[in-house]
Structure 1
């Protein structure tokens, strides 16, 4: 259970701030159909702009991790500065949206500053919730999942809301998230003293510590599948739907991942994070393998399959972060989580580019089962932690 001394408002504030702070991630994607119609951009522009932001995030997380930003400075202050900076970059993108090269640069910068929001928010949660961290991160990352899915909801509302309103609204939301976290919370008690030097040995724990290595490699397998599945969902739905119906259904399927995060976090407090991650990783892998049969199934089975996939493909993420945060060196939790994010998102970009390019020539029924490679390798990597949780505690013999 979550320890009693944590003020009740901390978790709701963290969840709201994380959702608001990461909202610029999806701003341009949500308005791209309007921009394409108005400016005549090709479909490839969507992928290029998405990749630009992802690349900025990867570079940002790498820089933040190597410089130990989240461990050398106040995590709340880092979150605030990066939220305000990403909001400013979104305003810059709005102001120069008709200049494609400038827009690419603004999106790269937005991704860079998001590196000080997503992993730093997890570090703040880890500082407060030394117990019940799986439940806290379940809600925290669940908010990020809903934010990811919101691009489809915004796209469905595109006819009702002009794109400048959406972009400026997202910028305001990001700034509000940073201010909310900074002024509505305070530093957790008994926080490990900030480090004054770079933590190279702590970062190396990703490879040298068997428990950290197990959770990190499991997370990498999860990332091979996650974002590629999200990108492919509209293509899958396009076999049966179009227009606003497609966008709303995609929003519901991707947003269902928040249930996997929240319920998985609740169960993990009683069952263990490794077991919850292992079950969800197994189910999402089976969903990948079931693609050839599900694509031709009736509507009820087809949509149930996609909802189950949406729930499980994202639901294991908080538990991987929980395991990593618990086992990482205490003085470098923020840096280890940030470096893990950096490598994980690099893997996701490679997977997205590979599967999107192959989808032009390979049928989805033959292509999507190969996503199961990630869950399979992730389960193999996670096996030491699974064995630990399934191993019964030693029996104490009284004298």
Structure 2
């Protein structure tokens, strides 16, 4: 009995004998990254672990003093593993319950909020008649949105706004701004004023899209590729939504239905995220304003390669999304009297072109989900992205010449749907790469800067495609997009072969 008692006394004294103070233990446990996010327990063990993971706050940062102590590392193995390349066996590393409910709400909100992006493009035929402009000028209705997005994103990146302000607040403000500027296009304004309004719509949307990706990433660690794929799938469906409204009857003199309805949907979206999408249990470190954030990212080879690949991908994607309606409308006009749309009149032809365009843009959501799944569960981000780029590049190379040769719609529509599903599918993987390869206190800026550069590239492509069409024909414009996927494949291969690839998709690269 005496020996047993002595052992118990030794065990009780062991923390002090190893230089570990009980008060230090409690202080260290209270400064774990999630303690500020979920509240600090009055006593260790006052809350079960699943409650600590549930979350009800916003962003959190671990205490610098606690992080520097050996006690912190000893007591909180999970935190060290979650920032490295290994996997933790701690249950707190698992994605939390309720994450798919949040993802569903957030993705639905993104569908509604980003419908304003292509609201003018969807009725470009009517707006060309309204202002007496041609194809090149009508391209400004989309490219001005992208320019506004770039300017807004650059300002956010320079000011580190995405890492300093709650993403829900940024999202709500962006939706309100986009709804207001978009609705004013339906007012009696001239073409130059409409371009300014579209620019301001794009600047507002720069507060919506990047914060969405950062916000949903706080809910997913193991399934981040699928989660980001779902959000960007929402972007695809939202971008397609105006075309559906046109196809359902928003044509002719009723084009203002498209403008007003997309503005109302944007307002609803802002309220949904602000009220129903909290920050998850994997918040990124809270940043302080620093002019060195962008130079830090520029020195990160993995982030640079992923960003350049994103830019190459955007060359093709927004060429497709912006000009497919014109491309398909031209095809129907040439094929007048043959197949679908033949002899149905101008109004029905426009509706048919809008519905097909809705399918081509909207089906990208399925591609995002599929590529996200195989990236997370099977082959990793690099291999999944290369697969999608190869498919979309092949479709781009084939579609235009087949269309120009008068191929039947029974062949062109399935090919166009495959192209649409693949063209956006890898987009989420580039965003996931940015969250995994950048320092955790620069994730928001990394995403925003990636998008700013990518959308800068889209402006050039959108302007260039009508010039290619004038020199050749609409049928050959799609071949002009092929260098984007080819360059993207080369950059992702370089990333896959680099040491930093091990940081992605739980070591799958």
Fold similarity call, TM over 0.5: yes
Deviations 1:96-130 (A, max 9, x none): 34333332222211111110001110110122212
- 1:104 and 1:236 map into 2 onto residues whose CA distance is 23
Q: Does 1:280 align with 2:372?
A: no
Q: Does 1:133 align with 2:133?
A: no
Q: What is the CA-CA distance between 1:192 and the residue it aligns to?
A: 3.1
Q: Does 1:98 align with 2:167?
A: no
Q: Where do residues 200-215 of structure 1 align in structure 2 (5 Å cutoff)?
A: 200-215=291-306
- 1:302 and 1:243 map into 2 onto residues whose CA distance is 17
- 1:351 and 1:225 map into 2 onto residues whose CA distance is 8
Q: What is the CA-CA distance between 1:169 and the residue it aligns to?
A: 2.1
Give the one of 159, 165, 173 matched to 1:73: 165
Question: Which secondary structure does the structure 1 equivalent of 2:225 belong to?
Answer: helix
- 1:365 and 1:28 map into 2 onto residues whose CA distance is 23
- 2:480 and 2:126 map into 1 onto residues whose CA distance is 34
Q: Does 1:370 align with 2:480?
A: yes
What residue in structure 2 maps to residue 118 of structure 1?
A: 209
- 2:284 and 2:317 map into 1 onto residues whose CA distance is 33
- 1:38 and 1:216 map into 2 onto residues whose CA distance is 39
- 1:201 and 1:51 map into 2 onto residues whose CA distance is 30
Q: For residues 11 and 104 of structure 1, do their structure 2 counterparts lie closer, same or farther at Cα, with a shift above 3 Å needed? A: same
CA contact (8 A) 1:202 1:328 kept: no
Q: Does 1:257 align with 2:257?
A: no
Q: CA RMSD in A?
A: 2.6
Gaps of 5+ in 1: 395-399
Q: Where do residues 1-399 of structure 1 align in structure 2 (5 Å cutoff)?
A: 3-38=95-130, 40=132, 42-94=134-186, 96-156=187-247, 157-159=249-251, 162-198=254-290, 200-237=291-328, 238-240=330-332, 242-271=349-378, 272-291=380-399, 294-295=402-403, 296=405, 297-387=407-497, 388=501
TM-score by length of 2: 0.71
Give the total of aligned pairs: 390
Which range moves more in the overlay, 147-156 or 69-78?
147-156
Deviations 1:25-83 (A, max 9, x none): 12233344444445555555422222222211110011011111110111111111121
Which range moves more in the overlay, 239-248 or 157-166?
157-166
Deviations 1:264-305 (A, max 9, x none): 122222121221111000111122233465333444333222
Q: For residues 7 and 378 of structure 1, do their structure 2 counterparts lie closer, same or farther at Cα, with a shift above 3 Å needed? A: closer
Which range moves more in the overlay, 30-39 or 53-62?
30-39
CA contact (8 A) 2:110 2:238 kept: no
- 2:323 and 2:259 map into 1 onto residues whose CA distance is 25
Which range moves more in the overlay, 96-105 or 82-91?
96-105
Gaps of 5+ in 2: 1-92, 333-340, 342-348
Question: Which secondary structure does the structure 2 equivalent of 1:166 belong to?
Answer: helix
Q: For residues 201 and 282 of structure 1, do their structure 2 counterparts lie closer, same or farther at Cα, with a shift above 3 Å needed? A: farther
Deviations 1:166-188 (A, max 9, x none): 32222221111111111112222
- 1:292 and 1:83 map into 2 onto residues whose CA distance is 36
Question: Which secondary structure does the structure 2 equivalent of 1:204 belong to?
Answer: helix
TM-score by length of 1: 0.89
- 1:43 and 1:179 map into 2 onto residues whose CA distance is 36
Q: For residues 301 and 153 of structure 1, do their structure 2 counterparts lie closer, same or farther at Cα, with a shift above 3 Å needed? A: same
Q: For residues 98 and 293 of structure 1, do their structure 2 counterparts lie closer, same or farther at Cα, with a shift above 3 Å needed? A: closer
Question: Which secondary structure does the structure 1 equivalent of 2:263 belong to?
Answer: helix
- 1:162 and 1:367 map into 2 onto residues whose CA distance is 31
Q: Which has the larger radius of gyration?
A: 2
Q: For residues 367 and 101 of structure 1, do their structure 2 counterparts lie closer, same or farther at Cα, with a shift above 3 Å needed? A: closer
CA contact (8 A) 1:73 1:194 kept: no
Deviations 1:229-267 (A, max 9, x none): 223323442224542222211221222211111221222
- 2:246 and 2:162 map into 1 onto residues whose CA distance is 34
Q: For residues 217 and 159 of structure 1, do their structure 2 counterparts lie closer, same or farther at Cα, with a shift above 3 Å needed? A: closer
- 1:371 and 1:190 map into 2 onto residues whose CA distance is 38
Q: For residues 2 and 368 of structure 1, do their structure 2 counterparts lie closer, same or farther at Cα, with a shift above 3 Å needed? A: farther
